[in-house]
């Protein structure tokens, strides 16, 4: 059959626009306000903080170093230090076997793995022993009973470090996956950067729309606050350094010198506080990318996102505030400012569009401000997705991410320093 004028194969039939559609679009176009020079200037000034964010983010990302750029040719030819990997695990039956297998595949010649089963009730210990069967490099220990004042992860790390024999310690989480060259690249990068503490920001796996909305939002906030490796290395104050507890390496000498995990035993963000302690000694702290070397899926849905980030947002984030005690008192306002700053332009732009569709009057300044600020937010989120190796179109989830993060922040402020994680309750310092 020959297609008619209104038919094409593989496409929807075309028809003339209806009178109703024309009427609606006419009302929309007629409702567009005339753009004055003064209105445009006012809108640009109001949108400046939002428009500056992607510029700051782009500049800081240029100073971020990557393990993927490290040449591993002949990396193990010279005498190598022993690396002891400490892996704390509490109820990690879903992840533990894959994590252990990835570490066992490491090409580093002098390596040991200490798995610490932190009183798991889901068979984590048995699965770990099965995954490690026949490998003399792997030791599986049970964490002693949790002392008062300690978080479970810190106690498990401290307990595992007791068994470590390496001159370098690498602490990692059970939900991570290590590339074979990860350890070697970290050793070389640590030497190249002259860093005492080197941590890695790897690829964040996201399986649900909730993760894809929230994770870039949080990572954008962290990147904007701390910047790339260059900014962290140049920091002159402990509050301006950060580390990723999912994977970090330091010398045994300095670990013992600062008292191990004992000084950070009561902090929900033990990685950040350890980085601050090391920077306060005058040692360098570095956070580098490792998208091709390390991967993890932090959370698996909305509920775990709310619980996971909720435990960090208030109790942990305030330790990065300026102005000392005053800054910590004002911290709830700063915490709410970010998600509100993400949401406001999109809410305003949506209102403007609907108002014009209905034939209402709209302020030129409000329309231009909301459009410019929304575009800037999308640009920042696109950069965060691109950095993680994800499609930039996921930036369109920014409004949803902002709304969820706002809810997380409100709940976190309400809980204060009270933290619950892995079926344990804590009061964070």
Measured CA to CA, the distance from residue 29 to residue 146 in angstroms comes to 67
| Region 277-305 average pLDDT | 95
- Return the pLDDT at 322: 79
pLDDT bucket at 3, cuts 50 / 70 / 90: very low
In whole angstroms, what separates CA 183 from the centre of its chain?
Answer: 21
Q: Which is more confident, 117 or 80? A: 117
Please tell me the distance from the alpha carbon of residue 189 to that of residue 195, in angstroms, as a whole number: 8
- Name the pLDDT band for 228 (thresholds 50, 70, 90): confident
Q: Is the pLDDT of residue 249 over 80?
A: yes
What is the bridge-based pairing of β-strands 138-142 and 418-421?
unpaired
| Residue-range domain boundaries for the chain | 37-61+324-417, 80-320
Comparison of pLDDT for 338 and 31, the residue scoring more: 338
Banded model confidence at residue 53, pLDDT cuts 50, 70, 90? confident
CATH fold, domain 80-320, is Spore Coat Polysaccharide Biosynthesis Protein SpsA; Chain A (3.90.550)
Task: Output the pLDDT for position 26.
Answer: 52
Between CA 272 and CA 219 the distance in angstroms is 15
- Cα–Cα distance for residue pair 108/105, rounded to 1 Å: 9
| Separation between Cα atoms, residue 372 and residue 375, nearest integer Å | 5
> Does 314 score more than 90 pLDDT?
no
Asked whether 252 and 168 are in contact (CB, 8 A), the reply is yes
Q: What is the pLDDT of residue 326?
A: 82
| Poorest-pLDDT segment among 124-128, 174-178, 265-269, 314-318 | 314-318
Q: 304 Cβ partners below 8 Å, 6+ apart?
A: none
C-alpha 398: how far from chain center: 15
Does residue 113 carry a pLDDT above 80?
Answer: yes
Confidence of residue 23 (pLDDT cuts 50, 70, 90): low
Q: For residue 27, what are the contacts with CB-CB under 8 A and spacing of at least 6?
A: 356, 357, 358, 359
Q: What is the pLDDT of residue 14?
A: 36
211 to 192, 219, 306, 386, 425: CA distances (angstroms)? 34, 12, 10, 15, 25
Whether the predicted pLDDT of 187 surpasses 60: yes
What six digits make up the tokens of 196? 């005492």
The DSSP-derived string for 97-122 is: HHHHHHHHT---SSEEEEEEE-S-SS
Q: Are 160 and 116 in contact (CB under 8 A)?
A: yes
- Tell me the β-bridge partners of 116: 88, 141
pLDDT (tens digit per residue) in 167-182: 999 999 999 999 999 9
Q: What pLDDT is recorded for position 363? A: 82
Task: With beta carbons less than 8 A apart as the criterion, state whether 254 and 224 touch.
Answer: no
Nearest to 50 by CA among 353, 323, 369: 369
Residue 9 confidence (pLDDT) above 60: no
**pLDDT for the residue 193:** 94
User: 372-378 long-range CB contacts below 8 Å, 24 or more apart?
Assistant: 372/43, 372/44, 372/47, 372/50, 372/51, 373/47, 373/50, 373/51, 373/344, 373/345, 374/345, 374/346, 374/349, 376/47, 376/50, 376/51, 376/53, 376/54, 377/50, 377/53, 377/342, 377/345, 377/346
Tell the residue number behind the tokens 């193990």, with chain if given. Answer: 76
Q: How confident is the model at residue 17 (pLDDT cuts 50, 70, 90)?
A: very low
pLDDT above 50 for 15: no
Q: What is the pLDDT of residue 348?
A: 94
3-class state of residue 155 by DSSP: helix
Tokens of 224: 């904007």
Give the chain's end-to-end CA distance (angstroms, integer).
76
Percent of the chain whose predicted confidence (pLDDT) is above 70: 89
- Provide the pLDDT for residue 222: 84
Mean pLDDT in the chain? 88
Which pLDDT band, with edges at 50, 70 and 90, does 139 fall under?
A: very high
pLDDT, tens only, 200-212: 999 999 999 999 9
Calculate Rg over the CA atoms of the chain: 25
CA dihedral 250, 93, 315, 169 (to 10 degrees): -10
* pLDDT per position as a tens digit, 360-412: 888 888 888 899 999 999 998 998 898 899 999 999 999 999 999 999 999 99
| Distance, CA of 14 to CA of 16 (rounded, Å) | 7
* C-alpha–C-alpha distance, residues 42 and 222, integer Å: 30
| 3-state class (DSSP) for residue 359 | coil
Averaged pLDDT, 47-69 = 80
């Amino acid at each position: 059959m020959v297609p008619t004028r209104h038919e094409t194969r593989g496409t929807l039939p075309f028809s003339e626009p209806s009178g109703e559609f024309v009427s609606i679009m006419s009302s929309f176009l007629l409702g567009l306000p005339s753009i004055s020079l003064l209105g445009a200037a006012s809108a640009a000034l109001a949108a400046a903080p939002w428009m500056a964010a992607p510029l700051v983010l782009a500049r800081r990302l240029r100073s971020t170093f990557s393990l993927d750029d490290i040449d591993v040719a002949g990396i193990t030819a010279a005498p190598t230090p022993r690396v002891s990997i400490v892996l704390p695990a509490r109820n990690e039956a879903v992840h533990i076997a894959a994590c252990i297998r990835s570490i066992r595949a490491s090409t580093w010649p002098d390596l040991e793995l200490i798995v610490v089963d932190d009183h798991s009730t889901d068979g984590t210990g048995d699965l770990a022993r099965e995954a490690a069967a026949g490998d003399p490099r792997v030791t599986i220990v049970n964490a002693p009973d949790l002392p008062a004042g300690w978080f479970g992860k810190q106690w498990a790390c401290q307990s595992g470090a007791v068994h470590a024999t390496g001159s370098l310690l690498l602490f990692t989480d059970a939900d991570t996956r290590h590339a074979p060259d990860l350890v070697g690249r970290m050793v070389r990068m640590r030497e190249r950067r002259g860093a005492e503490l080197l941590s890695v920001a790897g690829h964040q796996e996201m399986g649900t729309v909730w993760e894809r909305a929230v994770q870039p939002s949080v990572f954008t906030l962290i990147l904007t606050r701390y910047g790339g490796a260059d900014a962290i290395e140049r920091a002159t104050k402990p509050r301006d350094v950060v580390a990723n507890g999912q994977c970090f390496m330091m010398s045994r000498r300095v670990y013992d010198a600062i008292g191990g995990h004992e000084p950070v035993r009561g902090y929900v963000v033990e990685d950040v506080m350890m980085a601050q302690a090391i920077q306060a000694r005058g040692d360098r702290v570095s956070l580098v990318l490792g998208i091709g070397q390390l991967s993890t899926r932090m959370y698996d849905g909305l509920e775990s996102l709310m619980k996971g980030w909720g435990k960090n947002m208030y109790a942990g984030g305030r330790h990065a505030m300026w102005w000392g005690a005053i800054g910590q008192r004002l911290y709830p306002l700063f915490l709410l400012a970010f998600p509100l700053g993400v949401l406001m332009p999109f809410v305003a732009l949506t209102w403007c569009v609907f108002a014009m569709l209905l034939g209402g009057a709209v302020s030129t300044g409000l329309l231009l401000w909301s459009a410019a600020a929304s575009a800037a937010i999308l640009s920042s989120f696109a950069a965060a997705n691109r950095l993680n190796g994800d499609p930039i179109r996921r930036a369109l989830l920014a409004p949803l991410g902002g709304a969820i993060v706002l809810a997380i922040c409100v709940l976190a402020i309400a809980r204060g320093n009270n933290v619950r994680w892995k079926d344990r309750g804590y009061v964070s310092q």
